[in-house]
Amino acid sequence: MQPLIDNARSFGQRPEEFARLAEGQSPQVLFITCSDSRVVPALITGARPGQLFELRTAGNIVPPHTSQHPTSEAATIEYAVEVLGVRDIVVCGHSHCGAVGALVRGDDLTAVPAVRDWLAHAATPRPAGQAEDPEVAKGVQAHALTQLLRLRSYPCVARKLAQGKLGLHAWYYEVHTGSVRAHHPQTDTFESL
Ligand code: ZN
């Protein structure tokens, strides 16, 4: 913890670099990814403060849309789309994802019931042969595409898509190489950016 505190202390010594951020934000992209500490969106994309609106959840799961009760995920998506007017949404899965790995392997999660119940939202198919793959590449990629479908069920997203004002993208990030692949709908394959 102490190195993080030390850095935060020195970070705050450069207020002139950030003064303009008080005027507001106009990010072009909502970046949805896993809470995993190895995934650092600003590092991957080179985004500066104000450029990426982020939603991070365990396993980058987008829960089913419901108007029955409020969720943090729905509020974040709605704010990004309706208020900030982001032009693109990226769902970025990653290699060696513990959440997707647990889904693919069918792990016993009774000791972590909140995780178990959250992962039940995933609705992700289990690609054959993935249980032995520590990278769970195929599982993570299929999972990211499933979350894109979920996004389409959000009324604000569906409306912007129909208006041609929003793009949806599925990415796959390798934590052990730093490389990113994007899904190409025409070929249904993930290719290097
Ligand atoms: Zn993960």
Distance of CA 36 from the midpoint of ligand 1 (Å): 5
In a domain, residue 47? The reply is: yes
130-156, pLDDT tens digit by residue? 667 888 899 999 999 999 999 999 999
User: What single string gives the DSSP state of each residue in 108-173?
Assistant: --TTSHHHHHHHTT------TTGGG-TT-HHHHHHHHHHHHHHHHTSHHHHHHHHTT--EEEEEEE
83-138, pLDDT tens digit by residue? 999 999 999 999 999 999 999 888 999 999 999 999 988 776 666 666 678 888 99
In a domain, residue 99? The reply is: yes
Distance of CA 92 from the midpoint of ligand 1 (Å): 10
pLDDT band at 17 (very low <50, low <70, confident <90, very high): confident
pTM: 0.94
In a domain, residue 92? The reply is: yes
CATH number at residue 48: 3.40.1050.10
Tell me the average pLDDT of the chain: 93
Distance of CA 187 from the midpoint of ligand 1 (Å): 25
In a domain, residue 89? The reply is: yes
> pLDDT above 90 covers what percent of the chain?
80
Residue 120: give the domain boundaries: 26-192
Distance of CA 37 from the midpoint of ligand 1 (Å): 9
- Number of structural domains (the chain) is 1
In a domain, residue 82? The reply is: yes
